Amino acid sequence: MNVFHYGSIPNLITLGRLALVPVIVAMITAERWTEVFVFFVIAGLSDALDGWIAKTFDLKTVLGAYLDPLADKALLVSIYVALAIVGAVPPWLTILVVSRDLMIIGAFMVSWFLDKPMAVRPILVSKLNTAAQIGFAAAVIAVKAFEIPVGMWFDIGAYGVATLTFVSMGAYFAQWVRHMSL
């Protein structure tokens, strides 16, 4: 019996991205920046590829709708934590990034436990926030990998990510409050 199904291809790619998380974290903590950069690019390309395959060939699945954002969050949160541990990003920024995701996950869990589940739909500010978080992490990794001097962009990027993270957190919280009829 063949258990492989073409609809699973995007999900397998997503699982591959999830499997890269500990590899990337290990490379960051070992400060092997060139390898971190390569694996980060591979993870980014895999994210684009699984989405493109799912949409182009109508291979979207319910599992994929949950697995893809989980892999993205696991990668981003892990990278920020590891970058903070090695001193490449400020700890306050990592705490903010992680807290936002924990708040969102907690809100979804509470709504589910109270039998008022929310649909998983990213909002525009969340997409902008994710892009900023990825862009900033990629820039930090590239600076380390290619030994580029850190300039004023670093502070601007960190505060930009922090601002978008706060705005996104507030938008999701307001959406959750409305949904829960508080």
Query: Could you give the CA distance from residue 158 to residue 155 in angstroms, rounded to a whole number?
Result: 5
Q: Nearest Cα to 17, choosing from 62, 58, 51?
A: 51
Share of the chain above pLDDT 70, in %: 96
Q: Is the pLDDT of residue 1 over 50?
A: no
Q: Nearest Cα to 97, choosing from 160, 149, 34, 16?
A: 160
Structural tokens at position 145? 């990998």
Query: Could you give the CA distance from residue 100 to residue 171 in angstroms, rounded to a whole number?
Result: 11
Q: Is the pLDDT of residue 5 over 90?
A: no
Residue 40 CB-density burial (10 A; 0-12 exposed, 13-18 middle, 19+ buried): buried
* Whole-number pLDDT of residue 133: 97
Query: Could you give the CA distance from residue 137 to residue 161 in angstroms, rounded to a whole number?
Result: 10
Give the C-alpha distances (Å, rounded to integers) separating 157 from 80, 94, 138, 154.
Answer: 14, 13, 11, 5
Note the pLDDT tens digit of each residue in 78-99: 999 999 999 999 999 999 999 9
Residue of 45 and 121 predicted with greater confidence: 45
Residue of 121 and 146 predicted with greater confidence: 146
Q: What is the mean pLDDT of the chain?
A: 93
Section 119-133 average pLDDT: 90
The whole-model pTM stands at: 0.91
At 74, is the pLDDT very low, low, confident or very high (cuts 50, 70, 90)? very high
Which domains, from first to last, does the chain contain? 6-179 (1.20.120.1760)
Structural tokens at position 157? 């990027």
Section 120-131 average pLDDT: 90
Q: Where are the alpha helices (DSSP H) in 114-181?
A: 124-145, 152-179
Section 38-48 average pLDDT: 95
